[in-house]
Structure 1
Amino acid sequence: MSSTRPTVVLVHDGCSDTTTWLGVVAELQRRGLTVLAVANPLRGLAHDAAYLSSVLAGIDGPVVLVGHAYGGAVITEAGTAPNVVALVYVAAYLPEAGESYQALAGRFAPSPLASRMRRTTYAADGADAAELSVPGDCFGSLVAADLDPELAGALAALQRPVAARVLTDVPTEAAWRAKPAWALVTGADRALPPPVQRFTAERAGATVLELPDASHAVAVSRPSAVAEFIHAAAGPSAVAG
């Protein structure tokens, strides 16, 4: 068994940025792990997964790949990289190959956030495309209900819109079929329905931890719990021999 400790690579959600991982990064570094928070482009699943794959190709040694929410779809596609030894899903979904989020979520009651998303346009390859963001007046209650309102407001201001196409894009690979998967389920999530999280985690045979009172912004509200979960996934059994 190799003694090389894995690098933890963190992939953020849509309507988010790398700052959401700040507390988790600090906690993991205190535990002696090397950490990289990737700036997810948020322009489409194939684009985002290809970018993440290029980052992974530049990392020597094993990687524990962590995805938050839509980041879970990105790591599902890119996680087939040979140096990825474990996948960790935080308030996320674990799609099958060929399964869009829209098709998956349609099997469950919609989240309160679904009807509140703001749709705007941006220029993409010479044509207009749609992108989504969370209105500031509902960000706190629907995304970050367990955070101080001022901090929730700051996160709302820092968010990056995500291309609307990520709702219908489908992964071509399901890395969790060949790699160990871990899933932290947020039981009070009003953005990504907990039943979607539970169903996909159980379908994948993931090791599951549920935090019943945690919101979608769990990486900010409970960084120690998230870091401890990732640290467990990055333990000796995760390292490729």
Structure 2
Amino acid sequence: MRAFFTAFLFLLSAVGASAFEANAAAKPTIVLVHGAFAESSSWNSVIERLSGQGFHVVAAGNPLRGVKTDAAAISALARSIPGDVILVGHSYGGPVITEAANDAPNVKSLVYVAGFAPDTGESANVLAQKFPGSTLGKALQPVALQGGGQDLYIRPDVFHEQFAADLPAAEAALMAATQRPVTLAALSEAAGAPAWKRLPSYMIYGSADRNIPAAVMKFMAARAHAKKTVVIDGASHAVMASHPEEVAAFIAGAASAR
């Protein structure tokens, strides 16, 4: 009798594991790519919500050194994941996923969260200035790099206003302290062939973004023929942290679209 129950419990466990694996396989893996002046934990609240819906989520570490080299790192990560992948890019993470998808055939769609979607030859700096409204330039603190070039930070005293105005001051202060710098060269690097010309793209952004003006996001969404575009009224550049519910729902919708 004991042997029977042991075998029965093993069978139930195996069936449960198979069902779980089948459910996981039915959903694409969501790879979140942070941008400049942020880091992977900026997605924490979004990850919590997506994971609760049964998605496997990876918050990638974006090197922030250059579009092509950063894209190569994200592309390698995407290729290592079994099954379909949705790439999500915030800010400078946008150019990175736009490039990375070209070398990762399992990427099925792109989601831009207040992220640049450059065309061939465009850089983040060029796009940011396409329409008036960005105040990022005067908020930057350059740091000279050994061997040449510059790292760029947002000055801590203006980080809250510039990057995350709709977050509590204490939370913005933590983000300012943990921000990761991007090289000036990365923001100036011209993009290659844009994956959004062949993959479904989705865009969500805030109307009060001081890094990438809403007019720039609207232009890029129209040019990419975005499948869906959502504007969150009053949201800052840190929209994934200030409005995680809306951002997670938007990503989940893109990931579930067929």
TM score, norm. by length of structure 2: 0.87
2:122 partner letter? E
The aligned residue for residue 222 of structure 1 is 243
Tell me if 1:113 matches 2:136: yes
The aligned residue for residue 95 of structure 1 is 118
SS in 2 for 1:41: coil
1:142-157 correspondence runs (5 A): 142-157=162-177
The aligned residue for residue 20 of structure 1 is 42
Aligned-pair distance for 1:193?
A: 1.2
Q: CA RMSD in A?
A: 1.1
1:195-210 correspondence runs (5 A): 195-206=215-226, 207-210=228-231
2:49 partner letter? E
| Kept after mapping to 1: 8 A contact 2:39/2:61 | yes
The aligned residue for residue 69 of structure 1 is 91
Task: Single out whichever of 148-157 and 194-203 deviates more from structure 2.
Answer: 194-203
CA distance in 2, matches of 1:182, 1:29: 20
CA distance in 1, matches of 2:169, 2:223: 35
Tell me if 1:41 matches 2:66: no
Tell me if 1:162 matches 2:182: yes
Aligned-pair distance for 1:236?
A: 4.5
| Kept after mapping to 2: 8 A contact 1:65/1:84 | yes
Aligned-pair distance for 1:4?
A: 2.4
User: Quick one: which of 134, 140, 154 aligns to 2:160?
Assistant: 140
Once superposed, which parts of structure 1, at least 4 consecutive aligned residues long, lie more than 3 Å away? none
Structure 1: any 5+ residue segments left out of the alignment? Answer: none
User: Quick one: which of 209, 214, 224 aligns to 1:194?
Assistant: 214
The aligned residue for residue 8 of structure 2 is none
SS in 2 for 1:234: helix
Deviations 1:172-219 (A, max 9, x none): 120000000000021111111111111111100012011021111111
The aligned residue for residue 176 of structure 1 is 196
Q: 1:190 to 1:11 in 2, by over 3 A?
A: same
2:81 partner letter? I
Q: 1:34 to 1:13 in 2, by over 3 A?
A: same
SS in 1 for 2:148: strand
The aligned residue for residue 129 of structure 1 is 149
Aligned-pair distance for 1:93?
A: 1.6
Aligned-pair distance for 1:106?
A: 3.2
Q: Which has the larger radius of gyration?
A: 2
Higher helix fraction: Structure 1 or Structure 2? 2
Q: How many pairs were matched up? A: 232
| Kept after mapping to 2: 8 A contact 1:186/1:211 | yes
Aligned-pair distance for 1:110?
A: 4.5
Residue identity over aligned pairs, in percent, reads: 41
SS in 1 for 2:32: strand
| Kept after mapping to 1: 8 A contact 2:116/2:127 | no
CA distance in 1, matches of 2:35, 2:129: 20
| Kept after mapping to 1: 8 A contact 2:133/2:210 | no
2:172 partner letter? A
| Kept after mapping to 2: 8 A contact 1:23/1:223 | yes
